[in-house]
Structure 1
Amino acid sequence: MRESSSKGNPAALLGQLASILLDKEAQIRLVLTALIAGGHVLLEDLPGLGKTTLALGLARSLDLPFARLQMTADILPGDILGSNFYDPAQRSFVFRAGPIFHSLLLVDEINRAPPRAQSALMEAMAEGQVSLEGACYPLPHPFFVIATQNPEEFDGVFPLPENQLDRFLLSLSLGYPSREAEMRLLCGEAVAPEQVEPQADANVLLEWQAAARSVFLSPEIRGLLLDLAEHSRRDPALRFGISPRALLALQAAARASAFLAGREFVTPDDLRAVTVAVLAHRLRWRDPGDSQGQLQTLLRRCWGFGV
């Protein structure tokens, strides 16, 4: 893989984030995969497991403008997007940008916001722009959303509809750390996000994204993707199969995974690395009791290997 810039190394970035969030290299790699693929991430987890720490560390490591948006039951779209206000000095209305106008936005507890506020994010995440009162405002480039979601059994949550879930390239859980990692945490070995130095910047990140889009995808790998889509659409256990947009998301994530591995071509290992995170939140099973097990069965039946 060619070097994207004299400054910036994805491996160094991964290592630095692993020193901030201990024992979570696989999850950090998936978050970086989404970032390099140009997508967004949904973290479905309990409070206190390091989601905010990871977002802060990522923003600091990439020197990106960062904002944290705490979602509540009474939040309004204007609290997210911004609004027009009358400026007496200019004798006209002026747009005041909301927190969404940052390169890295942490949307904390997204499912505590009512549907109207949740939907305010959809255009921004899909098109990189905000439309407000007849005007269109472009968002920073790059633009990356990390949203956290409380478990559905928590009180006061509004489940995300399917079309909003589809805006997230990947969905994953950090989970509890190992005993060894928690011991290191108690001993103060984890690095605080504000203590790290930037490993790259927005320009380098854009170069990485462009390089990932050029990673070679063979006809055989594309055939595996098409096989999976066809199998999912015939599977009676699914309410509906994989959409073309989900298939494009899987292709983009596989390319970004190969880029992070230092390869110029996608292999089945890249599909193993990203498929569950790309598809698990998009598929709806008629019996949702064991969705992960049913997805693994679908993959083994289609590809001959699980992930």
Structure 2
Amino acid sequence: MRLGVLDVGSNTVHLLVVDAHPGARPLPAHSHKAELRLAELLDERGAIAPDGVERLIGTVREALQAAEDKGCEEVLPFATSAVREATNADAVLARVKDETGVDLQVLTGEEEARLTFLAARRWFGWSAGKLLLLDIGGGSLEVAYGIDEDPDTAVSLPLGAGRLTSGWLPGDPADSADVKALRRHLRAQIARTVGEFSRFGRPDHVVATSKTFKQLARIAGAPGSGDGLYVQRVLSRKSLEEWVPRLAAMTVPERAALPGVSEGRAPQLLAGALVAEGAMDLLGVEELEICPWALREGVILRRLDHLPEE
């Protein structure tokens, strides 16, 4: 069957269309993406501004049309931290449903982490042993650990690259005092959760998902997307520690000129690098491997698991 998964995230609204059936890997058929940056469209009360709501409704309509054009039998719509934490979330969700017919399911941070973990487990398989997963989104950082498909523990922290950039790094290039303050803040947040994971022992394999980690691995020398989906891509803490001060000294246009870094993501790359560095350091990770599958694939896999057998 052809499924669409509609991901209303903090940075983008992304429709992923796949051909899938139980027991087989989902095959991407189409991708429709719009950079909405909901996390940056909040007013002083933490509500999504009227203009942001209108843009969201228009973007959802466009995604639905794309899903229909591509022959999707079902669309799985969900929203993450930007909508979840908006003070007017209920009103926004009602407007979207009234005007588009889409009932956005708001995932909790823990659900995000668990579904992303499922995708990583399916990608790497049982031979990967105990997995530690890291995912940096626009609004939050997810960490999960376990040996099965459902992790033993999963947490979500408000340490997304977009959120931190808008709240802590207003300058271009970033002010060194702001960078130090952000580094101190995020490390204190991460340190509170370390005990949740250390009690389970060292993982056999550490993996990371998200555009942020992919871009950090790319600028640190990992193969580009043109080399294919199945090429191993790794990121070491040593390389990351060398890149953080370089990124801090760059302007946004200079970051956008780096290999694999998009213009839209360049402003957030420094904050994302600081989160990645802090998480790897405090969790004792020397090297991690990039996983091509993430939350959207986890949502699809969970749906396939609940389809009746033919």
Query: TM-score, length-normalised on structure 2?
Result: 0.26
Query: TM-score, length-normalised on structure 1?
Result: 0.26
Structure number with higher strand proportion: 2
Which structure is larger by alpha-carbon Rg, 1 or 2? 1
